[in-house]
Structure 1
Amino acid sequence: MSTPFHAAPTRYDSMPMRRCGRSGLDLPAISLGLWQNFGTDRSPETQREIVLHAFDRGITQFDLANNYGPPRGAAEEMFGRILATDLAPYRHELVIATKAGYRMWPGPYGEGGSRKYLLASLEASLRRLGVDYVDIFYSHRFDPTTPLHETLGALKTAVDSGKALYAGISSYSATRTREAMAVADRIGLDLLVHQPSYSMINRWIERPDSSGESVLDVLGETGLGAAVFSPLAQGMLTRKYLHGVPEGSRAAAGGPLHTSFLSQENLSRIQALNAIAGRRHQTLAQLAIAWVLRDPRITTALVGASSVAQLDDTLGALENLHFTRDELRAIDRHAQDGDINIWAHRSSNL
């Protein structure tokens, strides 16, 4: 039987809060993402320990999606159990986010951006989480087969019904983000936040697309917040892969982190960035988090964790978020795109 949870009274003492775009919502500089490490293949006790420790350290946003697991839906079910048994008294302090867009169930209505899929998925997510509403509901990816007014109209229904407090989009290109903002304005939907991948070796949101704008340009001009995911490049920007692929690692197990990503060119970049981190008295993970947070358009960095120790190491980034111009120039020499953006082709038809 687990010990009853009482949140640390110091939980807000050291976590910087950042305003999410032009809204009234503050988010922690570092949020916990439950994409990996939260499913039936992991110890329930360890998952509970990580979530509760995160809250004790000032992490108030917990980022999920309908298909996180394994199996799909397991992460929401796990978080729902922790919410019911431990975090229920603190629900008003939590920002719970979930998403829909990728494959969740069989048939033509089990993925995409249709109204039928998004709203059915939200209802299922609420049941798994055991809540009446989520704080943020995202369109998980751009769907070129569904009109944007239908996808965003479903998000508006979710907000208008009170089943979501805010709406967001994820992995939309600069052009699609601009289009989404125009549609949202026409239908009276206030989009809160964009969730793109971003790291020192995946800098696509800085680059202009065919419109001449970058995602960051659009976010800065429109006032959307940015919750960036995979800032550690699925673990590549940690010490784990400095000398290749160790047994038992995520890359060795297969899945979204392909061993091909750990090319000699990428490893050389990562080793050089690790040396810079050492000169700053940081771990490579801490450098990577501090670097994405250097841009004021970034609201929060979504990080994963397989243990409390790993989470604490990542949170150490908050102890040194300042960069000199020389440090940024040195980082830029090695922080180059490593061809690891696995979401690009599935998120935009541009």
Structure 2
Amino acid sequence: MRLDQLSEDGILERIVPAMAGVAAADPRTRDALGSVLVGPGDDAAVLQLSSPRLVVTTDTLTEGQDFLPDATRPAWIGAKAAVQNLADVIAMGARPLALVVSLSAPGGAPAEAIEEIMTALSARAARSGAIVVGGDLGRAEALSLTVTALGVLPDGRAPVLRSGARPGDILAVSAGRLGRSAAGLALVLSGRRPGRCRDDREEELLAWHNAPDPDLRRGLIAAENGVHAMLDLSDGPVRDGLRIARSSGVDLDLDGTAFAADVAALSPVARRLLDEVEAASDGAPAGAAAGAPGGALHRAREWVLHGGEEHALLACFPAGALPEGFRAIGRVQEPEDGDAPQVLLDGDPVPGAPFDHFSG
């Protein structure tokens, strides 16, 4: 059934019980449920906070800009919307509490798709101990999903800021592998679609781009174990690392060997995509040697260093205090006299251009 065949109340009657059922069934939402004094159904939600310090963030997914409808699935859209907001709350050292969701969709959109989006969003939030407490439903020419996430800082814990990195710190990431989302995006742009990839590896990368699923609990562990600075990887290690560097007044020196396995894992996919470009251009070379600009290794390295939307956590820890679930990828050091803070790779400037929402 299409949305324009239902009233707004009719749509809500389908999705609200589904979301509430997901939250109530997950024991991780017990604290959040006890904090909701007024939930969906009134003019606004009312929450009982366990701390006077509230952490708030918001983000939007828009059809055509952040996802292509035929290249993803409704459940993936919902899960990704939850993850990108939960990661921001957790990167501040806060415990997620609640999400508020504003969803706009064309009248011809299937009601089942909207139900899948909201159910998946609620389920992913529940895994981090948060619940959906309200929002807005509207009509638009394209699907758009805006989520506002609320979290609380435990008593006595300062927020984890980007400005806390110190020379001598270890730079670490909570992801077992980097670059998967960027590789998945490259597959989408090459024409791959769910269920129609060349092999299981491509299907996995496509799914990770559409619905990255990092272990966000590691951020709470980091906050409990003396992390100095932290943010979520939305724009890649280089661009996000530069945010820490500038905020903290330090240099971050990435260790190239720390990314070797990440690059190796993605190189076969990069090689395949380059071969396809070459075949489509009647044999004209698509790139240079593997490690040179344009080659497969180079492209895989670009995905790892500059690829965004992983939503794992980039963090700086005191030396010798790296907690379980994080791996070292570099170090924090004093900038050279007179130099602006920067991100380096084995002591040299990092080649390639990081992602920018508003670049050319």
Q: TM-score range by the shorter chain?
A: under 0.3
Normalising by structure 1, what TM-score? 0.26
More strand by share: 2
Higher Cα radius of gyration: 2
